Chains A and B, each alone.
Chain A
Amino acid sequence: TQLLEQSPQFLSIQEGENLTVYCNSSSVFSSLQWYRQEPGEGPVLLVTVVTGGEVKKLKRLTFQFGDARKDSSLHITAAQPGDTGLYLCAGSTVGSNYKLTFGKGTLLTVNP
């Protein structure tokens, strides 16, 4: 059973601060996705990383995939209240029949 350990589970910060969310596993993933979900809505795909060591940027968000493809991080610079939401990492392995393994999520609150 593949597990994705996501931390922290809860994070409350002030506007303008930086933060990092981590996802770690003992399993190797062929790809890893990050999603953001707002209350009462479905998750929205932010990014997919597939290559070990890959770094992707999406405005103030920076995503990194570990060299061994077992871990990933999401860094947000100068957080804004609009960044508030549940952030989910999800990994896919070869032969998983397209299923994703989800982390437990990070509930981020950015206070103005």
Chain B
Amino acid sequence: GAVVSQHPSRVICKSGTSVKIECRSLDFQATTMFWYRQFPKQSLMLMATSNEGSKATYEQGVEKDKFLINHASLTLSTLTVTSAHPEDSSFYICSAGGQRATNEQFFGPGTRLTVL
């Protein structure tokens, strides 16, 4: 399968600061990337779909001004959590897809965000 990396793997920040998370597809060009949020022992919750060179499409209830997504190249998408608050603490996972007709997605290892 395809390899997707995510950086950082873990970040702790103070309330009110912004945090950027990078997602890279290492061995293929990803025209479409996805950002998910996951709470403990629960399934993935899609936040937004990111298409290279265009604006991200956000799911209902996700604040686009708070979760800024940029997909400037075929191998890199970034998620910036702006003015983070403790309720934003979560496990954020990106995936790359759109490469096959079967719509498989290949996931990064995730980023654990803790906002103090």
Contacts and interface: CB of A to CB of B under 8 A. Distances in A.
Interface of A: 6, 30-31, 33, 35, 40-45, 48, 50, 86, 88, 90, 92, 96-100, 102-105, 107
Contacts of A43: 44, 93, 107
Interface string B1-19: 1001010000000000000
Contacts, number: 72
Interface residues of B, number: 28
B104 A48 contact: yes
15 contacts: A33-B103, A41-B110, A42-B95, A44-B1, A44-B107, A88-B44, A90-B105, A96-B103, A98-B49, A98-B103, A99-B34, A99-B46, A99-B49, A99-B103, A103-B43
Q: Determine which residue in A44, A48, A97, A104 has the highest number of CB atoms from chain B within 10 A of its CB, and name it.
A: A97
A41 B46 CA distance: 17
Contact of B1 (A45, A88, A100): A45
Nearest to A105: B43
B110 A40 contact: yes
Interface of B: 1, 4, 6, 32, 34, 41-44, 46, 49, 57, 91, 93, 95, 97-98, 101-110, 112
A96 B46 CA distance: 13
A42 B105 contact: no
Contacts of A105: 41-43
Contacts of B34: 99
